[in-house]
Amino acid sequence: MTARSTRCTTAKTRTSRLAAVAAIAVAGSMLLTACGDQTESGSTKEGGSSSAAASKAPLFSKLPADIQKAGVIKVGTDASYAPMEFTEGGKIVGVDPDLGEALGKQLGVKLEFVSGTFDGLITSIYTGRQQLIMSSMTDNKKRQEGLDDNGKKIGKGIDFVDYFNSGVSLLVKKGNPQGVDSLDDLCGKTVAVQRGTIYEDTFKAQATKCGDKKLTIQAFDTDAEAQTRVKAGGAVADLNDYPVASYIAKTSGGGKDFEVVGNQSDVGLFGIGVSKDNTQLRDAVKEALDAIIKDGSYAEVLKKWDVEGSAVKSATINAGK
């Protein structure tokens, strides 16, 4: 293929310079025709799908024209939340990437996951760097309306296609040396959490409730850093979605580092984030989600990762509180 591509380039150059020579012009024309055919078939192989092939997917025609042409939807995530999304062997894997693959089959395009820090994901939608967010992000009114913790407008907000149901749980050091069983037990103690998450909001609300019995919150860029802090004894607890906390407790240090305590709280919906300016993409994703729920591929993904209890019965838009 490389040798043929080189020959095509050479043919173009020589044809341009010696156009007056009839014999060479004819030969060049034949070679250029071959090059054009080769390029077209090559792009189909490299891109994974041409518009003609992708249009056979049930919902391809529902996508915006620019995405149909590109054959790719760029998805922002924070790949540090196993089993929802994490990196293994240099590849982003987990519940969300697997659901993304299933959605892509309905839409006829590839959902391409790119990892970044969680608190920068919504900004990536505002700037157009990413077109979707799939990162265990809770759908709530604050994010829908673009508000900060104090209710101040900081952006136009985003829409959500809700696809997963989960509460949050406390993750403590194995053996629970501080005897933590609820958020109220954290008063007077130090906790660790990932910055920009609803878990940080939950801890802030608890800090207000604790009053003079101060709750100290240490916020980090990644949840892995928060976990390390708890493991080292610098904080008594981390807060995370139940499936994530459970997975960490089962796998970290062979199950010897952490345990989950107390009951789930703040049960809510995870949403696939999308720009409010792109309702066509939002609605196409909603249809695709309903399709994979109906055909059973949604249930298969959740069963694979042992999170069947978090299934939704149908896709909704902005149903978070």
Cβ-based neighbours of 201, under 8 Å, separated by 6 or more = 149
**Per-chain mean pLDDT for the chain:** 86
Q: What band does 29 get if pLDDT is binned at 50, 70 and 90?
A: very low
Instruction: Decide: residue 148, CB within 10 A, 0-12 exposed, 13-18 middle, 19+ buried.
Output: exposed
Domains located in the chain, CATH noted: 2-39 (no CATH), 53-166+269-317 (3.40.190.10), 167-267 (3.40.190.10)
Tokens 């906390």 map to which residue?
245
At 171-204, the pLDDT tens digits run 999 999 999 999 999 999 999 999 999 899 999 9
- Taking 50 as the threshold, does the pLDDT of residue 272 lie above it? yes
pTM equals 0.72
Comparing C-alpha atoms, which of 38, 41, 14 is closest to residue 28? 14
Q: With 80 as the cut, is the pLDDT of residue 54 above it?
A: no
Given this model, what pLDDT does residue 16 score? 41
- Residue 31's pLDDT band (boundaries 50, 70, 90)? very low
The closest of 101, 90, 165 to 315, measured between CA atoms, is 165
Q: What is the pLDDT of residues 209-230, one digit of tens each?
A: 999 999 999 999 999 999 999 9
For 39, 62, 157, 208, the CA distances from 238, given in Å and listed in that order, are 53, 41, 27, 18
Compute how many other C-beta atoms are within 10 angstroms of the C-beta atom of residue 72. 16
**H/E element, 173:** strand 158-173
Give the contacts of 109 (CB within 8 A, at least 6 positions apart): 49, 54, 57, 60, 63, 67, 68, 70, 71, 72, 73
Q: Are 280 and 62 in contact (CB under 8 A)?
A: yes
